[in-house]
Amino acid sequence: MPELPEVETIRRTLTSVLIGQEIQGVEVLLEKAVKPSSEQLIRALVGRKIVELRRRGKYLLLLLDDDSRVAFHLRMTGRLLFLPKLTPLEKHTTLVLNFTDDHSLRFVDPRKFGTVVLYWPSTPPESLKKLGPEPLETEKAVVVSSLTTAAARRKGPVKGLLLDQRVIAGLGNIYTDETLFLAGIRPTRSVREITAAEWEKIYQSILTVLELAIEHRGTSRRDYVDGRGEPGNHQCYLQVYDRKKKPCLVCGSEIQYTRVAGRGTYYCPACQH
């Protein structure tokens, strides 16, 4: 699933080619993916110009010249690609935005879980309203407070809390495992056991892990590519994720695999406590 670094990389690669584009036509190829409806989306978008691209958590937002917005959530396998109009459509294309300059933006989604939501700033979808703070763009005190406040109100493993988009926006399975490895904390640890100093360490680790992943243009393991169809290379730098039974790059211990909060989870039994 594309997480914060992947969506941010897509945003950066698409910004220069999408800003100022006028939408000439809209093709909805998977009705269930579009909200409120394909008819409303087509009526609202045709003739509009894109004025800005933003990211909120794992969502990519297109801002249009009438102040309406389109939120793309890529879910498990979604890709957003800027291509010439004459490029043949891929089999699992969900949506096409055709522009007046003979290019198009394609939303390709083999698993068909991704969504496209039209909204206005005064009435954002609940999924956006409920997102927690952005780790890279919000003051440290606010992010740490969100983490510790949530921890005081719940039980369960620390990994489950970090995966909760209402607590902090943008982390998924890969970067949660990488964050906890860097912080030296086992993903199975109860949130009630994490000390104030450890929450600070988790916060700093989140920043380090996300910034490095963005620098490497995201992690490409299966479906993810950027807006120009190019893979990222952060998979070459992962410390624990998807390294079951391989030696820890720090201490040499065998990386362990388990399931935490319903997700496959990797950790080092020696480096993480």
Catalytic residues: 2-3, 58, 263
The token pair at 135 is 């780790």
C-alpha dihedral over 110, 218, 27, 73, to 10 degrees? 80
Nearest of 118, 126, 124 to residue 38 by alpha carbon: 118
Q: Which residues have a Cβ under 8 Å from the Cβ of 185 and sit 6 or more positions away?
A: 158, 194, 198, 201, 202, 272, 273
Q: Are 23 and 47 in contact (CB under 8 A)?
A: yes
Return the bridge partners of 263, or none: 260
54-72 CB burial, b ≥16 within 10 A, e <16 = ebbbbbbbbbbeeeebbbb
Q: Where are the beta strands (DSSP E) in 22-153?
A: 23-28, 34-35, 50-56, 59-64, 69-73, 79-84, 93-99, 103-108, 115-119
Question: Phi-psi category of 156—alpha, beta or left, where left has phi over 0 and alpha has psi -120 to 50?
Answer: left
174-184 CB burial, b ≥16 within 10 A, e <16 = bbbbbbbbbbe
